[in-house]
Structure 1
Amino acid sequence: MLTCATCAVEREEPTPELCPICTDERQYVPEDGQKWISLDELAQAGQQLLLEQNEPGLIGIRTAPKVGIGQTTQLVVTPQGSLLWDPVGFVDDISVKAILERGPVLAIAASHPHMFGVQVEWSRRLGGVPVLVADADRRWVGRNDAVISYWSGSRRITEGLTLHQTGGHFPGSAVAHWAAGAGGKGVLLTGDSVFPNPDRRSIAFMRSYPNHLPLSGAVALRIASQLEELTFDRIYGNFNNKIASEAKAVLHDSAQRHAAWARGDFDHLT
């Protein structure tokens, strides 16, 4: 198994000439070309994983230095077990031990294919836990394994922790709703499905973030409408970027703003 140096998604060997995820219009192959790398090579280079508590019951896990896209994995810890969300493209025994000390892992899931990381490898190190992949995005799986389970619509992990398919960035793009987060007010883990902006008070809706290709206003409004049914006050994106409070209102207002700009309501300002 090798990983793409650009997106850090695992791929069975022999690998293709170019990473299929990176040649898609939502991603890119670097100017200096395609590179594949092994976990052993990363480990020998001193790769580390850092665990930091974001809030009670939510642990952020990031690579140092950055691997691939450089997302932050979120470990949601509940009394019944944990969800490993948006797995990074590196895993080691030290981190596995630290995760299992917090209880069993019930499932591994990614918000969308860019965040698959080394999901099968994580599963194997954690004891063969299920890897949940949205059926609409099965074509992007680079390493097939019996631990992968496909789902659509909504998928309950345990009490108070559920995956919901929103579509948008990818047809299978999903969020994880954690009811106990934010002191019981609810948390959404969104990856790129809805992306907390650097201003921390608005959200973006994009088909491609690096290539600046937006979703339509209608899709932004659809996603916001789907999530309106959930109770949440905080949103975490896939780089630990967040809307710290009143996130449902921010989501609603951001979708309205996105749709208005897409319609041309503000063309007089351009």
Structure 2
Amino acid sequence: MKQQIICSTCGTYYPFTSFPDSCTICSDERQYIPDGGQLWTMPEDLHQKHSIKLNKITEHLYEFEINPTFAIGQRALLVLSERGNVLWDCIPMLDELTIEFIKSKGGLSAIGFSHPHFYSNMNDWAETFNCPIYIHENDAEHVMVKGKHVQFWKGDEVTLWEGMRLILIGGHFAGSSVLHVPFLSNQGSLICGDTLFLSPSKKHFSVVWSSPNRMPLPLSEMSRIKERFDSIPFDAFYGYIKTQNLTKDVKKVFEESMNRYFL
């Protein structure tokens, strides 16, 4: 595998020839370059200073986190199913213990993404488990390394297996998507990244153009997104970090949250 370099702010991997002036992802107004300037690290340095923490959420749902937190600090979510497991979003690190655990559960049949901030080292994960990476074609321009496993899907949704669906939402990015898993809860669970953001109080959802830069979306876009979510049955929500789990009154919280934008 070719030598790679990692943006320390967002965790995106780039092929390493020389140190770029800036990360393309962080230069976009939805992300940021820190006050101290662009910083880079190497995969071997990341492995020396960090490890991967595994947590069981339910019998069929696990999370992987980098410990201590690195870059954006997102988690990757592993959905287990009889016909094939799905990894939702990536963390910018992969080690032998994680590989062995996933293999013990049957490997990976697919990797799906909420949006470009979490692509990180997706090609390493896909190469290790020999599985496709599903990214909506609307976000193709944000893929820094177009590996052989990347497949760009089109349209409003794609059905995987056992009723699981990749659903285009838009908003944060043109290709921002969610994974709907019908068998994780009575009405279905949303595996969401930060296409939909749950507040620390767990009493409010928001959909924004940029979370770190506090940039909202137009009301017309909010209305379209609300209609999109209204068409999806769900009673459980799992966001991009471990504090963003909600399994009670999810639709009620969502409806009340969205209605506030139109008062």
**TM-score (norm. length: structure 1):** 0.91
CA contact 1:234–1:245 (8 Å) conserved in 2: yes
Q: Is residue 88–residue 118 contact of structure 1 (8 Å, CA) maintained in 2?
A: yes
Give structure 1 stretches of 5+ with no counterpart. Answer: 261-270
**Alignment root-mean-square deviation, CA:** 1.3
Deviations 1:115-169 (A, max 9, x none): 112111111122x210111110111111111110001221222112111010000
Structure 1 residue 201, shift from structure 2 partner: 1.8
Give the corresponding residue for 2:8: 5
Q: Which string of whole-angstrom CA distances, capped at 9 and with x for unpartnered residues, describes residues 202-239 of structure 1?
A: 10111010110011222222112112222210111101
Cα displacement (A) at 1:16: 2.8
2:31 paired residue number: 27
**Which of 92, 95, 115 is the matching residue for 1:92?**
95
Match of 1:122? 125
Select which of 231, 234, 250 maps to 1:232: 234
Q: 2:26 and 2:254 mapped to 1: Cα distance?
A: 29
Runs of 4+ in 1 over 4 A off after TM superposition: none
2:147 corresponds to = 145
Aligned partners of 1:109 and 1:131 also within 8 Å: yes
* 8 A Cα contact 1:106 1:157, kept in partner: no
The percent of aligned pairs where both chains have the same amino acid is 30
What residue is the counterpart of 1:222 in the other structure?
224
Corresponding position: 1:163 with 2:166: yes
CA contact (8 A) 1:221 1:256 kept: no
* CA deviation map 1:5-31 (0-9, x unaligned): 100011122353100110111111111
Structure 1 position 61 matched with structure 2 position 68? no
Offset of residue 64 of structure 1: 0.2
Match of 1:266 in 2: none
Matches of 1:195 and 1:167, distance apart in 2: 13
Q: CA deviation at 1:245?
A: 1.7
Q: CA deviation at 1:61?
A: 0.8
Q: Does 1:40 align with 2:44?
A: yes
2:134 to 132, 135, 153: 132
Tell me which of 203, 225, 247 is aligned to 1:244: 247
Matches within 5 A, 1:105-120: 105-120=108-123
Secondary structure of the 1:132 match is: strand
Q: Which residue of 71, 74, 79 corresponds with 1:71?
A: 74
- Aligned pair partner of 2:179 in 158, 176, 179: 176
Are the counterparts in 2 of residues 175 and 188 from structure 1 also a CA contact under 8 Å?
yes
- Equivalent pair of 1:196/1:236 in contact (CA under 8 Å): no
- Deviation sequence 1:141-200 (CA, Å, 0-9, x none): 111111100012212221121110100000000000000113x33110111211111111
Unpaired segments of 5 or more residues in structure 2? Answer: none
2:63 partner amino acid: G
2-structure distance, mates of 1:161, 1:28: 33
Secondary structure class of the residue paired with 1:218: helix
